[in-house]
Structure 1
Amino acid sequence: MTYSRSHANRGAFLERVIDLANNKYRSAGLADINKIPTPVKITEDYGRMVKGCKEKALWVDYCGIYNGTAVIFDAKQTSGTNFPLVNLEQHQYNLLKSWSEKGAVAFLIVYFSKYDKYYYLPFHTLKWARERAESGGRKSISYEEFQTMAQEVRSKDGYTLHYLEAV
């Protein structure tokens, strides 16, 4: 089986940027938000070394606490002019929805590499877009919609990506 290395590493850049911001948030005592590791199934055990393969992740990318409130989000990257809703798996959407309904701040951070822009998309806007798609409408969120319905996040005050400003 062959695979595209660029596809396999898609999102790694965005995750590094977010991880740097999260480390600074933690150091400043502002928030404690962590990357949820992808589960790995160990297939062979050689004592000090193991062989394994990644399993399907059942969670979103990040979870933590900010200002006394639970925060949960997924990081997505797109190279096109829109964000296809199929890029967010159903179980990820369901988790964001469940936490949002219980008072957590749930959202996506979406990076448009074509424009080198990052956006904070609150869950209520994601929910609206999913409902539109389910009723036969557009199955993606256009870059233009992000410009009007999401908040651009930038590097600021020493943070690689000061996304908590949008929260």
Structure 2
Amino acid sequence: MGTWKTRGLRGSALEEYINYSNEKYRESGLALIQKIPTPITPIDIDKSSRHITLAYFEKKSTVDYIGVVQGIPVCFDAKECASTSFSLANVHEHQFKFMEEFEKQGGIAFLIIFFKSLDKIIYLPLKDLKLFFERMNEGGKKSFKYEELDEEYLIPKKGDIIVHYLESLSLYLSKES
């Protein structure tokens, strides 16, 4: 069991933008994507603010989001990093395995990564993430740089959809077919 302190909220800004985008997708009938809550057991609660200050994870979570886009099952995790290099330690083994199993069942798995220092959000297909893990497992770098990613998958803001990842997903699907 892991311990949770405030550092668990690091991705909350990106997640809020994705949650808003998912609501817009749902309203327009484009997709139905749900945020998967991480089950926790509270240990300490600040009585004045009624906020949980210490908790334990009940079990390992899988991914942040799961749902369906026009009949295609999708799952993904939202990650943020402060620099232009993304540490593979940010993707836990159980998350990676879940995404692999999800794709074996016919779904599409990916990451959405916000590179804060560049103010860029990018779609990373699982097959590309696998290559970085393979490199690491063969003794290579335990991270990858933004420059190694395909900028075709940059996620735009379009109208009132803040993180319009469906365009990147569509591009990926068109390349894979």
Q: Where does residue 159 of structure 1 map in the other structure?
A: 161
Query: Structure 1, unaligned stretches of length 5 or more?
Result: none
Calculate the TM-score normalised by the size of structure 1: 0.87
Tell me the SS of whatever aligns to 1:75.
strand
Matches within 5 A, 1:18-167: 18-41=18-41, 53-55=55-57, 56-146=59-149, 148=150, 151-167=153-169
Deviations 1:106-133 (A, max 9, x none): 0000000001100000000001110111
Number of residue pairs matched by the alignment: 158
Tell me the SS of whatever aligns to 1:96.
helix
Could you tell me whether the CA contact under 8 Å between 1:22 and 1:33 is conserved in 2? yes
Q: Which has the higher helix share?
A: 2
CA distance in 2, matches of 1:20, 1:66: 16
Deviation at 1:72, TM superposition (A): 0.2
* RMSD between aligned residues: 2.2
Query: Structure 2, unaligned stretches of length 5 or more?
Result: 45-49, 170-177
CA distance in 2, matches of 1:150, 1:85: 22
Q: After the TM superposition, which parts of structure 1 deviate over 6 Å for at least 4 consecutive aligned residues?
A: none
Could you tell me whether the CA contact under 8 Å between 1:121 and 1:150 is conserved in 2? no
Deviation at 1:41, TM superposition (A): 2.2
